[in-house]
Structure 1
Amino acid sequence: MFEFSPLITPVIFGFACAVTMLGGFVKGAVGFAMPLIMISGMGILIPPELVVAGIVIPIVISNGLQVARSGFGNAQVALKEHWRYVLVVCVMILISAQFVRSIPSNIMFMVLGVPVVALCCIQLIGWRPQIAPRWRRPFEWAAGALAGTLGGLAGTWGPPTVLYLLALNTPRTSQMSVQGVIYGLGSVMLLLGHLQSGILNAQTWVFSAALVLPALAGMWLGFRLGDRFDQERFRRVTLWVLIIAGVNLIRRGVMG
């Protein structure tokens, strides 16, 4: 079971499963942050390329479940309204994923850590952009390009998508459906992109697939227990933990 990569010992595999289960729990409880938790957590002990490979299949499966929960009819409506953003996110994920293997390890730690810290800080301070109707189309292309680039490099296009929807004043009742379709299609592009880049290969895909079970177990617990505590306080605590972990990744990138 532990022969899928010489870099993954039984102890490190157990650590990766624990981080993934925590990420799944948070996603099930408050609907976000699984990739951020997996990246910032696993990056403590696991090389960046293997971290990126490890998140791919759990992201695909969990986002597929999110689309199914929100309903495929709602997904079609969301796709019709936000097709420009979805298109550029998917294209940029495919493109940027091809550069992961050419980035040195210390730079890759920065690539993983800086978006985690920046996006969590933005959510903590509650900043939301305001876009006039006449600027909506250019904003869709620009925001999609940013989200897709981050998605391909670090697997984190969720927080930029939330900011995009807030900027367009998307009704809260519609946000989950829109996020579901964007996350679902984006995760498929991430899978295809890293199959092409070689990040997901004969060894690493087994590691990624092995993390699906703890991800789903964590989501199940999150669905069941999420209503038993103050979600806003839990969200803020999660963001602070992610910032600390992200700063540690940046430290490793700076110090080498």
Structure 2
Amino acid sequence: MSVSSYLVAALPPGLNIEILAFALGISVLAGTVKGMVGFAMPMILVSGLSMFLSPEIALAGLILPTVVTNGMQALRQGTAAAWQSIKRFRIFLLVGLVFLLASAQLVRVLPQGIMLLVIGVLVTIFALMQLMGRSIPMTRTNSQTEAVVAAVAGFIGGLSGIWGPPTVAYLTALGTEKHEQMRVQGVIYGLGAMALLLAHIGSGVMRAETAPFSLMLVPPAIVGMWIGGLLQDRINQATFRRATLVVLLLAGANLLRRGLMY
């Protein structure tokens, strides 16, 4: 049996080698963007894979690449650096986690479409203001402000599964140095990705039929992360900030699209 035959045999029903090739290309793109600015992998994978796969298969596909690449991102400068970032942003991490877990219980009560629109509007306005040079000053010495922002990000994340854009908006407003921003995002998203994996093992989305497809998307995602990491190393802080805001603007627009279509 040829390699392609083995691959097709491992795919969920309805997938073929041409669709797999396209999915691998999307995974490389998602990894490249994440490697450069630290986020947007789930957005790119879900948007791309959903064009030719069911929402369930698309969701299953993004889980393992997200877990692996977030671990790489958090540990790129080593465990000591990652631990320092965890300690520095411990209030944000702890408060955000508490509100994420609490608000997850409200998913069946509050309309998700409205939440997506609210997040999309806020993120889009923030990105546009920043790109236009309208700064939003924020200081890390105010732990109350950090806790409030973390609560909002966690609350939104628990309801919609989308905690990336609010977190990036906060870190960008702080003017966080690019390597530390990447590490903090990797830690936050890594914890969320592990929770997502466990939740969908329980839900049945991640199962014997879908896990091989998700596993196949890991190597191209890693290649993309490597490419994105090279690009990030070559750009200065100002360019990194602008690239982050552009991707954040696209993320906001995508949230608005999803909210309107919900």
- What TM-score, normalized by structure 2, do the two folds share? 0.71
What letter corresponds to residue 31 of structure 2 in structure 1?
Answer: G
Say if 2:129 is the partner of 1:122.
no
**What are the within-5 Å matches in structure 2 for residues 6-45 of structure 1?**
6-45=13-52
Whether the aligned pair in 1 keeps the contact of 2:74 and 2:184 (CA below 8 Å) is no
Mark the CA change 1:173 to 1:242 in structure 2 (over 3 Å): closer, same or farther: closer
Whether the aligned pair in 2 keeps the contact of 1:91 and 1:148 (CA below 8 Å) is yes
Q: 1:203: how far off?
A: 2.1
Name 1:193's counterpart in structure 2: 199
What letter corresponds to residue 206 of structure 1 in structure 2?
Answer: P
Whether the aligned pair in 1 keeps the contact of 2:140 and 2:146 (CA below 8 Å) is no
Mark the CA change 1:63 to 1:238 in structure 2 (over 3 Å): closer, same or farther: same
Deviation larger for 108-117 or 74-83: 108-117
Q: 1:24: how far off?
A: 0.7
Whether the aligned pair in 2 keeps the contact of 1:59 and 1:187 (CA below 8 Å) is yes
DSSP-derived class of the 2:76 partner: helix
Residues 26-63 of structure 1: per-residue CA shift (max 9 Å, x gap): 12233332222212222333332332222111111111
Residues in 1 aligned to 2:209 and 2:143: alpha-carbon distance in whole angstroms? 43
Whether the aligned pair in 1 keeps the contact of 2:124 and 2:253 (CA below 8 Å) is no
Name 1:181's counterpart in structure 2: 187
* Alignment RMSD (CA, Å): 3.9
Whether the aligned pair in 1 keeps the contact of 2:11 and 2:212 (CA below 8 Å) is yes
Name 2:153's counterpart in structure 1: 147
Residues in 2 aligned to 1:191 and 1:8: alpha-carbon distance in whole angstroms? 22
What letter corresponds to residue 12 of structure 1 in structure 2?
Answer: I
Residues in 1 aligned to 2:253 and 2:177: alpha-carbon distance in whole angstroms? 32
Match of 1:223 among 224, 229, 232: 229
Name 1:83's counterpart in structure 2: 90
Flag structure 1 segments of 5+ consecutive residues without an equivalent: none
Q: 1:6: how far off?
A: 1.9
Q: 1:234: how far off?
A: 5.5
Mark the CA change 1:98 to 1:68 in structure 2 (over 3 Å): closer, same or farther: same
**What are the within-5 Å matches in structure 2 for residues 209-220 of structure 1?**
209-220=215-226
What letter corresponds to residue 129 of structure 2 in structure 1?
Answer: I
Mark the CA change 1:7 to 1:184 in structure 2 (over 3 Å): closer, same or farther: same
Tell which structure's C-alpha radius of gyration is larger: 2
- What TM-score, normalized by structure 1, do the two folds share? 0.72
Deviation larger for 120-129 or 54-63: 120-129
Say if 2:51 is the partner of 1:62.
no
Whether the aligned pair in 1 keeps the contact of 2:153 and 2:163 (CA below 8 Å) is yes
Name 1:159's counterpart in structure 2: 165
Residues in 1 aligned to 2:181 and 2:235: alpha-carbon distance in whole angstroms? 23
Residues in 1 aligned to 2:159 and 2:35: alpha-carbon distance in whole angstroms? 24
User: Between the two proteins, what is the percent identity of the paired residues?
Assistant: 38
Residues in 2 aligned to 1:223 and 1:118: alpha-carbon distance in whole angstroms? 28
Match of 1:52 among 59, 66, 69: 59
**What are the within-5 Å matches in structure 2 for residues 83-102 of structure 1?**
83-90=90-97
Residues in 2 aligned to 1:151 and 1:78: alpha-carbon distance in whole angstroms? 21
Deviation larger for 61-70 or 113-122: 113-122
Mark the CA change 1:150 to 1:235 in structure 2 (over 3 Å): closer, same or farther: same
Instruction: Kindly tell me the number of residue pairs found equivalent between the two proteins.
Output: 248
